[in-house]
Structure 1
Amino acid sequence: MKHGSLLRGILASILIGLVSPAAAQTPGTCVVTRVEGQAFVSARGAGVRSAVTGLGLGRNAKLRTDAGGRITMTCSGGLDVVVGPESEVDVIGLLDGGARPFGLRLIDGIAGFLFSSDEENGVQVRTPSAVAAVRSTQWAMRVENRASAIFARTGMVFVVTDDDDARLGPGDGVDVTPSGEIGPVTPWGQARIDRFGALLGPDW
C-alpha cells in the first residue's frame, strides 16, 4: 500500500480546453493530427464542433468518438495520444515543460499513449475504477461498463485504486472491476493485444 499512497499523493487535476492551432507548438498543449470517422471536441463556452486536423486543445477539452471514429493528437513533450471508437474523454492536464504530467479522464472507450522522447514526462489517466500513472512508455487503457483494462506494451505502468495497486511490465495487462478490485497481473496473449490494436488503429 505504501507505493499506492505515494502515487495518490502526486496525482493532480488541471482544467484545459480549446486553443488556436499555433498554440500546439508551445509547452503544455496538444494538436489534433488525425481524424477518422465521426469525432467531436468541445470546451466550456465553445460548444461542440467536429474534430479536424490542426485543432489545438487547451483548457476544459472534451473529446468524443462515434463507432468507427478515432482521434490522434500530438502533445508537447513527445507524447501522442490515440482515442479509439465509441470513446469519451476529458483532458484534465497537459505537459508543461516536464513540470506537470499529462492528465486524461477516460470515461468510456479506449485510448493509447506513445512517447517519442526520453524526457521522462509523465501521464496519469483516471477511469471510473482506477488511476494509471506512467513515464515515457507505450501503453493503452480501455473502459467498459466502468471496469478498466490496462496493457503495457513497453516500459512500466502503475495502476492505483482506493484500496490496491499493481505494477505492469512490458507485455503485461491487468483488469480492474467497477468497484476498484485489481485482478492478477498477467502477460497478455496476442489475441487480446490485437483486439486493442484493432480498436486503436495504425497510429498506436
Structure 2
Amino acid sequence: MIGLGLGLNAKLRTEAEARVTMACSGGLEVVVGPESEIDVLGLLDGDTRPFGLRLIDGIAGFLFSSEDGNGVQVRTPSAVAAVRSTEWAMRVENRASAVFTREGTVFVAGDDADVKLGPGEGIDVSSSGEIGSVTNWGRARIEEFDDLLGAEW
C-alpha cells in the first residue's frame, strides 16, 4: 500500500510472502520481509539521534540513499545495531539475531561485547545476547537474505 503513514509507536506486521518498503526521513528505506514484526519508535532522544526501530521477529533490510540522515538504531530481543549511510540487514528468529553488512559499517552490541562489521561480514547473536565471531558470509547465506527481502533490497 503506497502512502500509508506510520506514526510513533506504530507496529507493522507482514504475512507470509508479503514485503513492505517504508520510506523514512533522512533518505532511509526499510524493507520488511515476510512474516516479520517491527515497531516504529521514531527519533531517539530528540532531533539529533538516530531513527529507532524494534525488530521483534523476521527480517528487515536497511538502505540509505543519502548521507544526510542521523542513521538508524535497531533493537532486537538479543542485540542492538546502529548505522548511518550503509546497506545492511537484520533477521530475528527465536529471539536470536543475525546481522549482515552489504556496504559500509554496522556496529552490533550484545550482552557480552560490541563488534564492528564491514562489507560482506555478518554475525550471529544468540537469544541470550552472546555475540558470535565476525565472519565473511558465503553466497548461500547472503542469497537467503536476498530471497526473503526481494528486489527492493
Query: Which category describes the TM-score, using the shorter chain as reference length?
Result: over 0.9
Find 1:123's aligned residue among 72, 90, 95: 72
Aligned residue for 1:85? 34
TM-score (norm 2): 0.95
The residue that corresponds to 1:69 in the other structure is: 18
SS in 2 for 1:59: coil
Q: Which moved more, 1:172-181 or 1:88-97?
A: 88-97
1:101 and 2:53 correspond: no
**Cα–Cα, structure 1 residues 96 and 117, in superposed 2: closer, same or farther, change >3 Å?**
farther
The C-alpha deviation readout for 1:124-175, integer Å capped at 9, x for no partner, is: 0000000001111000000000000000000000000222111100000000
Whether 1:111 and 2:72 are equivalent positions in the alignment is no
Q: What secondary structure sits across from 1:113 in the alignment?
A: strand
Moved over 2 A (4+): 94-98
TM score, norm. by length of structure 1: 0.72
Other structure's SS at 1:191 match:
helix
- The 1:106/1:66 distance shift into structure 2, 3 A limit, reads same
Percent identity reads 75
Q: Which amino acid aligns with 1:144?
A: E
Say if 1:77 and 1:95, in contact at 8 Å, map to a contact too.
no
Please say which of residues 114-123 and 74-83 is displaced more in the overlay: 114-123
Distance (Å, rounded) in 2 between the aligned partners of 1:137 and 1:104: 16
**Residue 119 of structure 2 aligns to which amino acid in structure 1?**
P
- The 8 Å contact of residues 9 and 42 in structure 2, kept in 1 or not, is answered as no
Contiguous gaps of at least 5 residues in structure 2: none
Q: Whole-Å Cα distance in 2 between the matches of residues 191 and 120 of structure 1?
A: 32
Matched, 1:198 2:136: no
Q: CA–CA distance in 2 between the matches of 1:130 and 1:82? A: 19
Structure number with greater CO (CA < 8 Å, separation at least 6) is 2
Cα distance in 2 for partners of 1:198, 1:96 equals 35
Seen in structure 2, the aligned counterparts of structure 1 residues 193 and 125 have a Cα distance that, compared at 3 Å, is same
Residues 25-40 of structure 1 mapped to structure 2, 5 A cutoff? none
Q: Distance in 2 between the 1:75 and 1:157 partners?
A: 19
Aligned length, in residue pairs: 153
